Amino acid sequence: MVWCIPYWAVSNTAFTPEFLHDNHRFLADWLNQPDRLALGVPSAVVPDSYNILLHPLHPAYRRVEVIRTSVFPVDARLWIS
């Protein structure tokens, strides 16, 4: 099961100091004590989509398998030329 970061939000107030502190604390806690294998972080590029972060120190990590891959076209405007 993927646990989505609870404080992440897209709004005009999303990047307040409190928002950044809460997210930093949440991620730091997870990195130090991986109680969940995966976290879903909202994509800044693809609307209504998540990037999944896997913690390699979680006991279940060794059972993770890639079952399918696919081509994902990335908009060229995202790359600095």
pLDDT tens for each residue of the chain, 81 residues long: 566 665 555 555 566 777 778 878 888 988 998 888 998 887 777 777 888 899 999 999 999 999 999 998 877 777 776
**pLDDT in the model for residue 39:** 87
Rounded Cα distance, 7 and 9, in Å: 6
pTM score: 0.68
Q: What are residue 5's phi and psi, to 5 degrees? A: -60, 120
Domain housing 38: 2-78
Domains in the chain: how many in total? Answer: 1
- Report whether 36 contacts 30 (CB < 8 A): yes
State the virtual CA torsion across 43, 47, 52, 53 in degrees, nearest 10. 10
